[in-house]
Chain A
Amino acid sequence: MLMALTTLQVFANRLTSPTFLFAANLVIAQTALWDWQSSKSLTRARNMFFGMRVDPEFIASNIGVTIHKRFRQRIWLWSFAVIVGYCFFPWRPSYTPGDLMTAVLPPLLASAGNLLMFALANRETGKLATLSLEPPTRTASLFVEQEESNAWLTALDWFAILLPIVLPLATIAVIALHWNNFPRGYSAQHELIAAAQAALIGIFPAGIYLALRFGARSSDWAPTPQASRRYRTVLGLMLWSIFSIQVVQMCSLALLPLLGGLPFQYLLPFMRYSQRATLGLLLLLVVAQLYLRKKLARGSSDPMPDHYWKLGMFYHNAADPAAVVPVRSGIGFAVNSANRSVWFIGAIGIATILVCLSSVL
């Protein structure tokens, strides 16, 4: 009896711990997003169903409805299993419930599972759907760069591309110049490493922005070059801001000791609110992307055949110079894995994740 009560107490503590709640909320939020993105109103607008170009009547047919329903059931069941499994996960003595690693694992597992369910739905669609062919003609404006040129947007482009790289490099230069001026309790080497990590993280948003600006086909995103440029700029800025907030934060924290040093307890609220701001920005990003797509980019889609889309999610086309294309199901963009510049950005992205994880572990 006492053991049962103790066990219940332990689980009650886990269920109410901030780490568990954070992780569970993330799992539910992303599954809800998958559910919503798969909704028929989104897919019908582009005749895309789980990454495949289908006959419009198929989406509303019994088979289409069944595939969609089955997908929704699977992703919610999987998310529920992940949350329950996380609850029963044997907490290692060295890890407390507040440990970041254990909070990141459930959303990652849920995401992987949702991708798998999407791939299954894609296979089912491929077998059962009446597929339609890609458009037989590809049309492009001859002087698209002139049509979409805009001085303000060009200035914004250079700002977005340079800031995440130049700011950390400038921070490194300042630290190097004031190497011996760091107050007691602060290590110049530690701050230099933090600035170097910021530089590494900064390559990612700059690279994504560069790809959206110069490596994307204008006609994929919007009916006119002007609308396409605006849409890609705003899309790039949204993603850029998520990472750039972190870069600015890291550089600021690295330089703060030189400004007389601040007791760490005063920095905690700053860090806490910046994390909340990042989460808020993520939500805003999802809502704003939908609005922008509806306003500027109705009917945007890549013109390529289905077989270049693996499992409906991953685009691989060696003959296509585009680095990024609109994602077929849902919102956002997909990278062309056959493009070498994408490999470089992807490698930086993986290095960024490893760097972040190494600083946590």
Chain B
Amino acid sequence: MPKSPQIRIDTTSTTPAYKQLADQLRVLAVEGVLKPGESLPPLRRLALELGVHFNTVAEAYRVLAQEGFLLITHGHGARITDRNPPRRPEPESLENFRQRLRELVASVRAHGLSTKQITSELNTAAEGLEKC
């Protein structure tokens, strides 16, 4: 059995736990680690493993369902869907992405990562995207 993906919740972060969880699950879905049709763990089980209230996991699942990444059905839990990205991105999306990327790079620079390390990670992420 290959090792399953790890989910990390930073308890010191100002980002709410449900958002951290939703962000990580979204990454896994976009990168193809979570394949369409695959079921996510029951929310009570995931809440137990992460040590958070089950409403936190429920909110993360709801966010992803609204974005089209998950299909939640009563009695069958949450499944990854074959989400079709929008044909044309919204005009603000690229600007938002650019801004978030700049903020992220500034944040990791402040934590001591070098330009070389950041560039290497961005290249790895880009290569992973191309494979999807």
For A330, what are the chain B residues with a Cβ–Cβ distance below 8 Å?
none
Q: Judging by beta carbons under 8 Å apart, are B50 and A138 in contact?
A: yes
Q: Judging by beta carbons under 8 Å apart, are B8 and A321 in contact?
A: no
Cβ distance A134 to chain B, nearest Cβ, rounded Å: 8
For B35, what are the chain A residues with a Cβ–Cβ distance below 8 Å?
none
Could you tell me the distance between the alpha carbons of A103 and B9 in the complex, rounded to whole angstroms? 50
Q: Judging by beta carbons under 8 Å apart, are B46 and A142 in contact?
A: yes
The interface stretch among B51-59, B97-105, B116-124 is: B51-59
Q: Pick the contact of A138 from B5, B8, B53, B54 — CB < 8 Å?
A: B8
Asked whether any CB of chain B lies closer than 8 Å to the CB of A137, the reply is yes
Q: Pick the contact of B54 from A142, A217, A219, A321 — CB < 8 Å?
A: A321
- Interface residues contributed by chain B, number (CB under 8 Å): 25
Cβ distance A101 to chain B, nearest Cβ, rounded Å: 41
B4-51 CB contacts (< 8 Å) to partner A: 4-12, 28, 40-41, 44-51
Cβ distance A341 to chain B, nearest Cβ, rounded Å: 12
Cβ distance B28 to chain A, nearest Cβ, rounded Å: 8
Q: Judging by beta carbons under 8 Å apart, are A146 and B8 in contact?
A: no
Could you tell me the distance between the alpha carbons of A216 and B48 in the complex, rounded to whole angstroms? 7
Asked whether any CB of chain B lies closer than 8 Å to the CB of A319, the reply is yes
Q: Judging by beta carbons under 8 Å apart, are A320 and B51 in contact?
A: yes
Assuming the contacts A137-B9, A137-B10, A137-B11, asked whether A142 and B4 have C-beta atoms less than 8 A apart, the reply is yes
Interface residue ranges, B against A (CB under 8 Å): 1, 3-12, 28, 40-41, 44-54
Q: List 15 A-B contacts (CB under 8 A).
A: A136-B10, A136-B11, A137-B8, A137-B9, A138-B51, A138-B52, A139-B8, A140-B46, A142-B7, A142-B28, A143-B5, A303-B51, A319-B52, A321-B51, A322-B51
Given A138-B8, A140-B7, 4 extra CB contacts under 8 A:
A137-B8, A138-B51, A139-B7, A143-B4
Interface residue ranges, A against B (CB under 8 Å): 134, 136-147, 215-219, 303-304, 319-322
9 cross-chain pairs, A with B, having the tightest CB-CB distances, nearest first: A140-B49, A143-B4, A321-B48, A136-B12, A141-B4, A142-B5, A138-B9, A142-B4, A139-B8
